[in-house]
Amino acid sequence: GAVVSQHPSRVICKSGTSVKIECRSLDFQATTMFWYRQFPKKSLMLMATSNEGSKATYEQGVEKDKFLINHASLTLSTLTVTSAHPEDSSFYICSARVPSGGLLTYEQYFGPGTRLTVT
Amino acid sequence: AQSVTQLDSHVSVSEGTPVLLRCNYSSSYSPSLFWYVQHPNKGLQLLLKYTSAATLVKGINGFEAEFKKSETSFHLTKPSAHMSDAAEYFCVVSVGMDTGRRALTFGSGTRLQVQP
């Protein structure tokens, strides 16, 4: 199946600094990627939809100026957490959408996630 | 709007006994339903999916799920649990014919513990 990677897998940063997380589709092109956030012992919550060559679509309550998303190529989307604070500490997961053969049918492949800790 | 309810946050079974993880969904349209598994410090892996074909869906690692429209359920089962099945399981819904085009809506997760 399709492989999605994320880098870094873990990052610790100081409060007030910015952190960039990369999501790559390794053996396929993805026009659409999704960014999710997972709190400890909680489910995944969609943050935004990243479309190659256009602005990301953010979910209600997600600050687009704080969580900057760039999808500059068909294999790479980045999430930058700007001016990070301890409450931004979380597990961030991306997924890439792939046509799965049927009419208008897609499948989503998930990256392994990035654990962000802000001190 | 669509939503998913996983009825048990934690399930514990003995190795070799059956597994049942319960999931109910709510959707205004015909849904596509998925089960994903997340092992500690690993990415989400698709176990199986229902996309309006056969109501009994077989997945990987011996898991299967049955779509019951009348009960709005999509419970995950396995005849015999293995130690390696211990993980977090998510029931997921996507609405519309363009399955997977939109982001997925995740249930709250069920942690499966397998006792030796």
B56 in Cβ contact with B9 (< 8 Å):
no
CB B89: neighbour CB atoms within 10 A?
23
Identify which has the larger pLDDT, B75 or A106: B75
Higher pLDDT, residue A42 or A61? A61
Q: Rounded mean pLDDT of A26-50? A: 88
Alpha helices by DSSP H, chain A:
none
Portion 32-51 of A in contact with B at CB < 8 A: 32, 34, 36, 41-46, 49
Mean pLDDT within A104-113: 80
Q: What is the mean pLDDT of residues A32-59?
A: 88
Task: Give the closest-approach CA distance of B24 to chain A in angstroms.
Answer: 16
Q: Which two tokens stand for residue B59?
A: 């997945």
Closest C-alpha to B83, from B5, B3, B6, B12: B12
Query: How does pLDDT run across B73-96, given as a tens digit for each residue?
Result: 999 999 999 999 999 999 998 865
**Whole-number percent of chain A with pLDDT over 70:** 93
Asked whether the predicted pLDDT for residue B69 surpasses 60, the reply is: yes
On chain B, the residues whose CB falls within 8 A of the CB of A32 are 101
Nearest CA in chain A to B95: A105
pLDDT at B99 over 50: no
* B7 neighbors B73 (Cβ within 8 angstroms): no
- If one compares A21 and A32, the residue with the highest pLDDT of the two is A21
Q: Is B100 on the interface with A (CB under 8 A)?
A: yes
Q: What is the pLDDT of residue A85?
A: 96
pLDDT at A101: 62
Cβ within 8 Å, pair B43-A112: yes
Query: Nearest-CA residue of chain A relative to B90?
Result: A43
CA B81 to CA B114: how far, in whole Å?
7
The DSSP H or E segment spanning A34 is strand A32-38
Q: What is the pLDDT of residue A104?
A: 58
Chain A: give the shortest CA distance to residue B83, in Å: 21
Q: Which of A34, A104, A110 sits opposite B43 (nearest CB)?
A: A110
The reported pLDDT for the residue numbered A81 is 97
> Inter-chain contact A43–B90, Cβ cutoff 8 Å?
yes
Looking at residue A59, the DSSP 8-state letter turns out to be P
d(CA B40, CA B86): 9
Interface of A with B in 80-109 (CB under 8 A): 93, 95, 97, 100, 102-108
| Residue A52 predicted with pLDDT over 90 | no
Residue B101 has a pLDDT of: 54
Residue B89 touches partner A, C-beta closer than 8 Å = no
pLDDT at position A102 over 90: no
Is the per-residue pLDDT at A10 higher than 90?
A: yes
The reported pLDDT for the residue numbered B97 is 46
Contact A43 B109 (CB under 8 A): yes
pLDDT for position A109: 87
Range among A14-18, A71-75, B35-39 rated most confident: A14-18
CA angle (A82, A87, A92) in 5-degree steps: 70
Q: Say which residue, A106 or B98, is predicted with more confidence.
A: A106
Q: Annotate B1-67 with DSSP letters as a single string.
A: --EEEES-SEEEEETTS-EEE-EEEE-SS-EEEEEEEE-TTS-EEEEEEE-SS-SEEE-GGG-EEEE
**Segment B1-58, tens digit of pLDDT:** 778 999 999 999 999 999 999 999 988 777 889 999 998 877 788 899 888 778 899 9
